[in-house]
Structure 1
Amino acid sequence: MDQETSRRPADGPAANRVRPTRQLDRTEALRLLATVSLGRLVFTHRALPAIRPTSHHVDGEDVLVRVDEGVSRASLAPTPGEPGLVLGYEADAIDACTHLGWSVVVIGHAELIVNRDEAERLAALLDPWRDRPMADVLRIRSELVTGFRLGS
């Protein structure tokens, strides 16, 4: 076996099977999204696509994320009182060996939480997985929720 082949996570018959894909409805997609705490925030930075890993919390049909004071804050946070930027958020749980799992994407306008008490309360719901200070909480108002499940 060559070195490239030995690094593949799923060799053998299971790796070569075609998996059926099933679309998720909005309710199921949000339910699955709430079962994990990490995902990827998708936004535009200097006119280019940018993706950052971050923690999230599902609050009803909205997604809460924390942003730091660096590039994320400058690129993501709308000015209070102005319409929010359109952002994407993606999370998944796909097994590397079986290739079974799901993926969910939420698209919506971002809203900076400006009330400090509310921001602190919501920030406490988010897993502080990074050692970098997280300055603000953004609420993504889910307008489009899509997802799929990779079947067995």
Structure 2
Amino acid sequence: MYANDGFRELDRWECLALLATVSVGRIAAVLPVNFCLDRDGTVVVRTSVSSELASAIDGAVVAFEADEVAAAAHSGWSVVALGPATLVTDPVEHARLLRTGPRSWAPTSREVFVRIAQELVTGRRLVGGRTLYGVHFSS
């Protein structure tokens, strides 16, 4: 689909490897959230227990997106994961995620974790770079 426009489709494992390198992604509403990939490869989002996000996506199928862009080099990548989101309600699992899960940039007194089990993971990377002011950039 993108064979001639400088983009290369990424397979699932390349997508998961890229997701493991960043800590901020977006839920379909394009809301930045802190996240991490858990040990089973699922996306775990940390948010306030009182946030509308937690109640809105619990039990819903969501699209989650993360990317990294190097604007000056005209390079980057984007990964989208699609799957059901569920609140982590098990107290032992919640305690583990407090220690090992994503760190909140705006901590609150009561936080919850939302797990997104990816049923579909797709992505693409801008390859080849471009020349800008006589300097060649590559990805």
Look up the SS of the partner of 2:97 in the other structure. helix
Partner in structure 1 of residue 33 of structure 2 = 54
Contact 2:47–2:104 under 8 Å retained in 1: no
The residue type paired with residue 63 of structure 1 is: V
Partner in structure 2 of residue 123 of structure 1 = 98
Output the aligned Cα RMSD: 1.7
Q: Structure 1 segments of 4 or more deviating over 4 A? A: none
The Cα of 1:57 is off from its aligned counterpart by 0.9
Question: How many corresponding residue pairs?
Answer: 122
The Cα of 1:23 is off from its aligned counterpart by 0.4
Per-residue CA distance 1:13-62 (angstroms, 9 max, x = gap):
xxxxx9610000000100101100011111xxxxxxx2211111112331
Matched, 1:27 2:8: no
The residue type paired with residue 137 of structure 1 is: F
The Cα of 1:133 is off from its aligned counterpart by 4.6
1:51-130 matched pairs, under 5 angstroms? 51-59=30-38, 60-68=40-48, 69-77=50-58, 84-124=59-99, 125-130=101-106
Identity over aligned pairs, percent: 39
The Cα of 1:88 is off from its aligned counterpart by 1.2
Instruction: Choose the corresponding residue for 1:146, options 119, 122, 125.
Output: 122
Look up the SS of the partner of 2:32 in the other structure. strand
The residue type paired with residue 65 of structure 1 is: V
Question: In the superposition, relative to structure 1, how do residues 31 and 72 fare at CA in structure 2: closer, same or farther (>3 Å)?
Answer: same
Question: In the superposition, relative to structure 1, how do residues 132 and 19 fare at CA in structure 2: closer, same or farther (>3 Å)?
Answer: farther
Provide the rounded CA distance (Å) in 1 between the counterparts of 2:67 and 2:109: 25
Contact 2:54–2:87 under 8 Å retained in 1: no
Look up the SS of the partner of 1:88 in the other structure. strand
Question: In the superposition, relative to structure 1, how do residues 150 and 133 fare at CA in structure 2: closer, same or farther (>3 Å)?
Answer: farther
The Cα of 1:114 is off from its aligned counterpart by 0.6
The Cα of 1:75 is off from its aligned counterpart by 0.9
Look up the SS of the partner of 1:139 in the other structure. strand
Structure 1 unaligned regions, length at least 5: 1-17, 43-49, 78-83
Structure 2 unaligned regions, length at least 5: 129-139
